[in-house]
């Protein structure tokens, strides 16, 4: 008996799946993972993913039918559906939200009102030239003789024969139309004449939008003694454990070990996922990977167009075996690609906060999710870092992960020397030049004199964090969010970094009408401006969110720095990790105190990671690098630990603090965000939900409280945090939280209240 019903996932933030009837003509053709067109709501059509097929008649009367099957083969495989289910359950979101995050938007038709539905994805087709029919050699010679009076046409036909390799009895091979005209030195009009004469013909061939790398592949480099020992130890541990933490100091050669592990898996015809936290890191590493693994290597991140994402998706799925991607280098969203048989997942810079998705749902952590995805595929997982997260190192010490440590730099290169520059003393003695201490200026001057390069790190973009009236202290703030506006000099506007609102720079104070408006603080744009004044002959560039908003901006900047066309590069944390520059000898950290004093239980750990990573960019070849850390508190214990590259003491101190105050890894945290555009309505419902949760969890329920930024895009926000024992199952806690939220959401007046849940919000 044919199964009659299908549970469908729709790209909506609504709990559960939706059951539809399978028409007789579609029975046997629909399988889980298929994309189908269905009606939902009043005359709106959506593309959904079939989750399950069954014969359980739903309790509701009117069951709608599936309208059509969209694809010949399923776009989502069985392992993906299992992964989506885990993401949905663990991170407390709907399957529809997971679907929306996972699929390229060109696959998601939502809210279409009428048939026929036009697909968003259109294959790219390119004109190619072919012979109109199979000719014998004598025929071609006669045609060329006749064309002696039309040399341009003769050139095109001769070029076609040469490029296509055509000879009597061979297959007719197409030649790209543009390439043919260029190679022949002729013209489009001459080609048109040959087409009209019936000698040549034009066909449209699907070529795709992705570049294929057809360079000659290089053999792998030999590993050093330390690298070989680490590589062998990793493979030993893989016999007992699925996950290994590779803790290697900066420039210890972790990437080369990854490359050898990748080669092992590709020899077994397995797929490999190489995760990176930042798009900016893909440019350098993809070159290294393609040197060895060629056209089977793909990249995936948010800067690709929707059309390109579909083509990458199809290549990972192996729809065309000749163009299949076996190795994918990508950011966190790469987890959702349709891998069929993963053999290895590498999570590089595993400690990085960019692996955590905050908004919108699913609010997943790509590092933790990668471990689960690896288990679904029975794949091996490598977590790599120069300064691992407290949670991962704790898991390794407990035996949950294997642990391999690389304690020396490749080639026995010395770790960079670190100099602490006291900004408080420099300001007091009036030795500061703009925002630069004498120690930093001296190091930069020496590097530039030796034709060496410099990186300046300031983890705040824009020219100035805010402007302020010098008379009354008034500060312009966003009209939608509870934050001050950042001054961007290049745009000559004030911008909100939360909602994108922008406004002109006021000529006078809106409070006291004074004209004395002044900038306060400094961002990367201001550093770029002022360093040009201090070193007028230096070539200066900036790498931050503003300067890399276009698709290939990262690649252009990194290539320019590699080729020595930039002397000084200023930037935010996207320059702090993973990049490898041969001639970079000086790194300046301009405001080490900003992150240290941030009100977050991970502030000290993140500060250590950031400073250690930035420091690691310096002196990665024969010369020892130099790092200047500018700080008002040189005696701060975290800064002293960075000075000595003492990760283990940092880990021990953080574990002691977290145990004392019950923070992860000694507890699990779930954050509940409650939002409303009316502050008083928000307060009343936040109290109701908070009271309900406190009845369930007692002192483990904290709040509701306003967060650091209490209004974003006109929505007022309050948060409640639930702490629960790390050894206990989260399932019951999540169920209790869900039920409490449902009870609140059913109350009168909550239709415009928004409640979201963030599991492991750190």
pLDDT at res. 255? 93
CATH code 3.30.70.600 region(s) in the chain: 667-759
- 5-112 sits in which CATH class? alpha beta
- 225-406 sits in which CATH class? alpha beta
CATH code 3.40.50.300 region(s) in the chain: 225-406, 417-460+526-656
Three-state DSSP string of 20-88? EECCHHHCCCCCCCCEEEEEECCCEEEEEEEEEEECCCCCCCCCCECCEECCCCCCCCHHHHHHHHHHH
Beta-sheet strands, E only, within 561-657: 568-571, 584-589, 626-631
pLDDT at res. 609? 92
Q: Is the dihedral of CA 486, 491, 493, 499 positive or negative?
A: negative
pLDDT at res. 730? 87
d(CA 262, CA 290): 12
Q: Find, among 153, 147, 146, 145, the residue nearest to 129 by Cα.
A: 153
CATH code 3.40.1440.60 region(s) in the chain: 5-112
Count other Cβ atoms within 10 Å, centred on residue 144.
14
Does a cis peptide bond (omega within 30 degrees of 0) precede residue 362? yes
pLDDT at res. 538? 95
List average pLDDT for each run of 10 residues in the chain, which is 762 residues long.
85 91 92 94 90 90 91 94 98 96 91 78 91 90 91 94 89 93 93 95 89 76 94 97 94 92 96 91 82 90 90 92 91 96 96 93 97 98 96 97 91 82 95 94 95 91 91 94 94 93 94 90 91 95 83 82 92 75 89 87 94 78 83 94 94 97 95 98 98 96 95 97 86 95 96 96 92
Does a cis peptide bond (omega within 30 degrees of 0) precede residue 116? yes
pLDDT at res. 556? 86
User: Counting beta carbons within 10 angstroms of the beta carbon of residue 603, is it exposed (0 to 12), middle (13 to 18) or buried (19 or more)?
Assistant: middle
Candidates 3.30.9.10, 3.40.50.300, 3.30.1490.20, 3.30.310.50; correct CATH number of 417-460+526-656?
3.40.50.300
Q: What is the pLDDT of residues 427-436, one digit of tens each?
A: 999 999 999 9
Contact 35, 107 (CB under 8 A): yes
Q: Cα Rg for the chain, rounded, in angstroms?
A: 30
d(CA 740, CA 692): 7
Q: What is the pLDDT of residues 716-751, one digit of tens each?
A: 999 999 999 877 778 999 999 999 999 999 999 999
Beta bridge partner(s), residue 503: 494
pLDDT at res. 621? 60
d(CA 557, CA 540): 11
**Assigned architecture for domain 667-759:** 2-Layer Sandwich (3.30)
């Amino acid at each position: 008996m044919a199964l009659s019903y299908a549970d469908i996932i729709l790209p909506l933030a609504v709990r559960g799946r939706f059951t539809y009837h399978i028409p007789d003509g579609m029975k046997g053709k629909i399988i889980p993972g298929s994309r189908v067109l269905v009606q939902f709501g009043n005359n709106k059509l959506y593309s959904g993913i079939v989750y399950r097929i069954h014969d359980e008649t739903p309790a509701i009367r009117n069951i709608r039918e599936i309208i059509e099957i969209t694809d010949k083969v399923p776009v989502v495989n069985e392992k993906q559906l299992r992964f989506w289910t885990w993401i949905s359950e663990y991170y407390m979101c709907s399957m529809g939200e997971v679907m929306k995050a996972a699929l390229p938007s060109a696959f998601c038709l939502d809210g279409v009102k009428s048939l026929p539905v036009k697909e968003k994805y259109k294959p790219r087709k390119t004109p190619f030239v072919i012979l109109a029919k199979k000719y014998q050699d004598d025929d071609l010679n006669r045609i060329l003789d006749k064309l002696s009076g039309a040399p341009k046409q003769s050139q095109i036909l001769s070029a076609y024969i040469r490029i296509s390799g055509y000879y009597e009895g061979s297959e007719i091979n197409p030649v790209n139309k543009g390439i043919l005209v260029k190679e022949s030195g002729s013209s489009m009009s001459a080609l048109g004449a040959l087409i009209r004469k019936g000698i040549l013909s034009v066909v449209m061939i699907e070529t795709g939008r992705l570049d294929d790398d057809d360079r000659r592949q290089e053999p792998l480099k030999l590993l050093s003694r330390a690298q070989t020992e680490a590589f062998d130890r990793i493979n030993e541990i893989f016999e007992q454990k699925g996950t290994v933490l590779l803790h290697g100091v900066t420039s210890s050669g972790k990437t080369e070990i990854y490359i050898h592990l990748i080669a092992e898996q590709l020899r077994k015809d397995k797929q490999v996922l190489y995760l990176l936290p930042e798009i900016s890191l893909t440019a350098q590493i993809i070159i290294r990977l393609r040197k060895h693994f060629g056209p089977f290597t793909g990249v995936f991140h948010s800067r690709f167009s929707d059309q390109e994402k579909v083509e990458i998706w199809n290549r990972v799925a192996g729809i065309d075996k000749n163009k299949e991607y076996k190795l994918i280098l990508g950011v966190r969203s790469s987890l959702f690609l349709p891998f069929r048989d993963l053999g290895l997942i590498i999570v590089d810079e595993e400690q990085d906060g960019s692996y955590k998705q905050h908004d919108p749902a699913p609010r997943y952590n790509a590092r933790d999710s990668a471990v689960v995805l690896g288990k679904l595929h029975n794949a091996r997982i490598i977590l790599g870092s120069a300064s691992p997260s407290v949670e991962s190192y704790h898991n390794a010490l407990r035996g949950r992960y294997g642990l391999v440590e690389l304690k020396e730099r490749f080639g026995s290169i010395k770790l960079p020397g670190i100099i602490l520059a006291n900004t408080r003393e420099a300001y007091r003695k009036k030795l500061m030049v703009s925002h630069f201490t004498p120690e930093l200026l001296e190091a930069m001057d020496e590097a530039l004199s030796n034709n060496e390069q410099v990186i300046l790190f300031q983890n705040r973009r824009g020219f100035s964090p805010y402007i302020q009236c010098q008379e009354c202290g008034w500060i312009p703030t966003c009209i939608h969010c509870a934050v001050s506006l950042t001054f961007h000099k290049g745009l000559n506007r004030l911008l909100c970094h939360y909602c994108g609102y922008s406004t002109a720079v006021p000529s006078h104070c809106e409070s006291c009408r004074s004209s004395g408006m002044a900038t306060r603080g400094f961002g990367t744009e201001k550093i770029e401006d002022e360093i040009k004044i201090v070193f007028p002959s230096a070539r200066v560039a900036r790498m931050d969110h503003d300067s890399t908003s276009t698709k290939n901006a990262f690649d252009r900047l990194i290539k320019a720095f590699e080729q020595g066309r930039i002397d000084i590069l200023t930037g935010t944390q996207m320059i702090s990790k993973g990049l490898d520059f041969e001639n970079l000898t000086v790194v300046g950290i301009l405001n080490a105190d900003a992150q240290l004093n941030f009100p977050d239980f991970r502030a000290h750990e993140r500060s250590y990671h950031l400073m250690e990573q930035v420091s690691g960019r310096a002196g990665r070849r024969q010369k020892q690098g130099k790092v200047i850390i500018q700080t008002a508190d040189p005696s701060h214990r975290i800064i002293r630990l960075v000075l000595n590259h003492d990760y283990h003491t940092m880990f021990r101190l953080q574990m002691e603090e977290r145990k004392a105050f019950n923070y992860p890894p000694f507890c699990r945290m779930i954050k509940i965000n409650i939002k409303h555009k009316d502050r008083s309505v928000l307060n009343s419902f936040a109290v109701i939900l908070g009271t309900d949760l406190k009845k369930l969890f007692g002192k483990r329920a904290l709040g509701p409280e306003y967060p650091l930024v209490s209004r974003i895009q006109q929505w007022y926000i309050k948060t409640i945090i639930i702490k629960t024992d790390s050894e206990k199952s989260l399932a019951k806690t999540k169920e209790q939280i869900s039920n409490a939220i449902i009870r609140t959401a059913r109350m009168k007046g909550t239709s415009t209240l928004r409640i979201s849940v963030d599991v492991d919000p750190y």
